[in-house]
């Protein structure tokens, strides 16, 4: 395994150890996959190695190697069918939430169990709640020193085999709490609690032998001691957990990407067509090169993001970019890996087709890639606000007659309808297809918002400006109308022709 320079010596040592362990269990893992058996015996071996406690603090019996360590283990185990996924899902069963929101008593209670191999699961999705997780319908009503949970959770991996389930439920219907995202709370629900039942197992396109199902909560009595964080912390715990989940989940995708290189290369070096091994064909080499390129990019993003989380940051943009890129890339690369192996790649005998099927699932799990792109846009713009600032304005250069960036001058103090029209018409020369924003106008004039609105509305009523209003009715953009442009200057003022344009063609 290629190691990164910011890894600790312990993390580097772990990488070597888990790769050796991978070869020890490879045969057993493949047999379990063919038999479609949940790999209980292999998970027991993983627990004995201490890997399920890789990010658990040492004082609770763990390795304390952070998310980076967890990603190292997941990446390696994910080169085998089922094993990486089972390990991954167990790591999502409240581990990160306990780190961030758990009390010392909760950590002392749960972390030793996790370190010893207790299997976990996370429960967000519901029959009528998918991407819109804030609309969670499962309820938790406080009664004395307990909460009573009612509802259903759907598409839960490790359903039935897990011992603990990180369940999110609605604890408030107050619109004020909903607006502040203080209406959800997280609970660790334990297998065997009265009223907590496995309702159904889904038969998915992928995720072979890792049970995925529907859970029913019927008046499940959960102690206050099992509430993770305070009442109302659920949304923040969920979002923080999703950054963690998308990162460690992407380490699984990186592991499978490695197999999309290893297996086709092994195959092509032994497959002869047209008198030569198929690895000699440039088209095949290009395909492998593209897979390696994407593997390198995804892996670098993975361990950069994991390092940020280990530093205590919440890299929402980075984790969303990583998850979206890695899952899209894996689907493409798995398709190409099968293509490189021809008809054999379509069979279950060569260990690639399951990667293609799992890749499709990963475009939907941990937040659909469409949701990821929405998050990337919103959070990415916010993260880049300083980089996106435009401290100059576009003005027409007197010599060239074209728009050139120019430093902003001091704000004018002569704000009026006339001077505003003057500025809007001048802006038309530089940006004929754009409105001016409120910020643009206020960068030109010393003017209060109330006065600006008053003048803009007056000019709108006179037909001299067109205004754009947001959903709340606030004026955000303005432009001069055709009537205003003609009133301010003759048509020739707005004209410009490049030197090469012929005079005889003008009209």
**Torsion angle, alpha carbons of 221, 224, 225, 231, to 10:** 120
How much of the chain exceeds pLDDT 90, in percent? 95
Helix locations, 169-281, DSSP H: 175-179, 234-268
Q: Is the pTM of this model over 0.95?
A: no
The pLDDT of 21-25, averaged and rounded, is 97
Domain-wise residue ranges, the chain: 1-118, 119-232, 238-383, 392-505
Query: pLDDT per residue over 240-272, tens digit each?
Result: 889 999 999 999 999 999 999 999 999 999 999
Answer positive or negative: Cα dihedral of 225, 230, 235, 236.
Answer: negative
Instruction: Give pLDDT tens digits for 92-139.
Output: 888 899 999 999 999 999 999 999 989 999 999 999 999 999 999 999
Neighbours of 41 (CB within 10 A): 11
> Model confidence over 309-341: pLDDT tens digits?
999 999 999 999 999 999 999 999 999 999 999
Q: How far apart are CA 322 and CA 343, in angstroms?
A: 32
Across the chain, mean pLDDT equals: 96
Rounded distance between C-alpha atoms, residue 229 and residue 184, angstroms: 11
In the chain, % of residues over pLDDT 70: 100
Q: What is the average pLDDT across 280-285?
A: 98
d(CA 107, CA 110): 5
**pLDDT band, very low/low/confident/very high, at 469 (cuts 50, 70, 90):** very high
The position carrying tokens 């206050």 is 224
**Dihedral angle computed from the Cα positions of residues 260, 288, 267 and 80, in that order, rounded to the nearest 10 degrees:** -10
Q: Topology of 1-118 in CATH?
A: Butyryl-Coa Dehydrogenase, subunit A; domain 1 (1.10.540)
Give residue 93's pLDDT: 82
Q: For residues 86 and 212, is the Cβ–Cβ distance under 8 A?
A: no
User: In this predicted model, what pLDDT tens digit does every residue of 41-60 receive, in sequence order?
Assistant: 999 999 999 999 999 999 99
122 contacts 89 by C-beta, under 8 angstroms: yes
**Structural element, H or E, at residue 466:** strand 465-469
Q: Give the model's pLDDT for residue 435.
A: 98
Joined tokens for residue 344 = 């054999």
Angle in degrees, CA 70, 71, 72, rounded to 5? 90
pLDDT higher than 90, residue 33: yes
199 Cβ partners below 8 Å, 6+ apart? 152, 213, 214, 215, 216
Q: Which fold has domain 238-383?
A: Butyryl-CoA Dehydrogenase, subunit A; domain 3 (1.20.140)
pLDDT at 354: 97
- Is domain 392-505 annotated with CATH 3.10.105.10? no
Task: Please give the Cα distance from 471 to 192 (Å, whole number).
Answer: 49
Distance of alpha carbon 299 from alpha carbon 292, whole angstroms: 10
Question: What does the pLDDT look like over 127-182, one tens digit per residue?
Answer: 999 999 999 999 999 999 999 999 999 999 999 999 999 999 999 999 999 999 99
- Assigned fold of 119-232: Butyryl-CoA Dehydrogenase, subunit A; domain 2 (2.40.110)
């Amino acid at each position: 395994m290629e190691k990164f320079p910011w890894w600790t010596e312990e993390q580097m040592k772990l990488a070597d150890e888990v790769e050796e362990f991978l070869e020890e269990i490879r045969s057993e893992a493949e047999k379990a996959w063919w038999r479609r058996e949940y790999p209980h015996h292999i998970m027991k071996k993983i627990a004995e190695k201490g890997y399920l406690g890789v990010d658990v603090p040492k004082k609770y019996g763990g390795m304390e190697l952070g998310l980076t360590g967890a990603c190292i283990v997941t990446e390696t185990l994910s080169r085998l069918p089922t094993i990486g996924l089972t390990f991954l899902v167990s790591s999502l069963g409240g581990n990160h939430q306990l780190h961030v929101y758990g009390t010392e008593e909760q950590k002392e209670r749960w972390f030793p169990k996790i370190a010893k191999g207790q299997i976990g699961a996370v429960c967000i999705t519901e029959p009528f709640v998918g991407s819109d997780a804030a609309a969670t319908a499962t309820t938790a009503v406080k009664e004395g020193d307990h909460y009573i949970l009612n509802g259903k959770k759907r598409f839960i991996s490790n359903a039935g085999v897990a011992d603990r389930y990180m369940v999110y439920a609605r604890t408030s219907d107050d619109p004020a709490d909903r607006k502040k995202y203080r209406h959800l709370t997280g609970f660790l629900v334990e297998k065997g609690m009265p009223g907590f039942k496995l309702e159904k197992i889904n038969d998915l396109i992928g995720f072979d032998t890792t049970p995925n199902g529907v859970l029913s909560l019927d008046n499940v009595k959960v102690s206050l001691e099992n509430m993770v964080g305070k009442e109302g912390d659920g949304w923040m715990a969920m979002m923080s957990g999703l950054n963690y989940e998308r990162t460690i989940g992407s380490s699984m995708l990186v592991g499978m990407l490695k197999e999309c290189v290893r297996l086709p290369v092994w195959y092509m070096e032994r497959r002869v067509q047209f008198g030569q091994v198929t690895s000699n064909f440039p088209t095949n080499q290009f395909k492998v090169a593209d897979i390696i390129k994407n593997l390198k990019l995804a892996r670098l993003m993975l361990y950069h993001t994991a390092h940020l989380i280990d530093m205590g940051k919440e890299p929402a943009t980075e984790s969303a970019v990583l998850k979206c890129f890695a899952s899209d890339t894996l689907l493409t690369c798995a398709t190409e890996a099968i293509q490189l192996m021809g008809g054999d790649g379509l069979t279950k005998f060569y260990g690639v087709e399951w990667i293609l099927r799992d890749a499709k699932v990963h475009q939907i799990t941990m937040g659909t890639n469409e949701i990821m792109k929405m998050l990337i846009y919103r959070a990415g713009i916010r993260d880049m606000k300083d980089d996106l600032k435009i401290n100059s304005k576009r003005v027409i250069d007197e010599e060239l007659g074209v728009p050139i960036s120019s430093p902003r001058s001091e704000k004018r103090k002569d704000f009026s309808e006339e001077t505003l029209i003057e500025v809007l018409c001048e802006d038309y020369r530089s940006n004929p297809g754009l409105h001016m924003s409120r910020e643009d106008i206020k960068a030109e004039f010393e003017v209060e918002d109330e006065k600006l609105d008053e003048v803009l509305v007056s000019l709108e009523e006179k037909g001299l400006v067109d205004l754009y209003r947001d959903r709340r009715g606030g004026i955000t953009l303005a432009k001069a109308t055709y009537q205003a442009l003609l009133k301010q200057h003759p048509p020739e003022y707005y004209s410009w022709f490049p030197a090469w344009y012929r005079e005889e063609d003008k009209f």
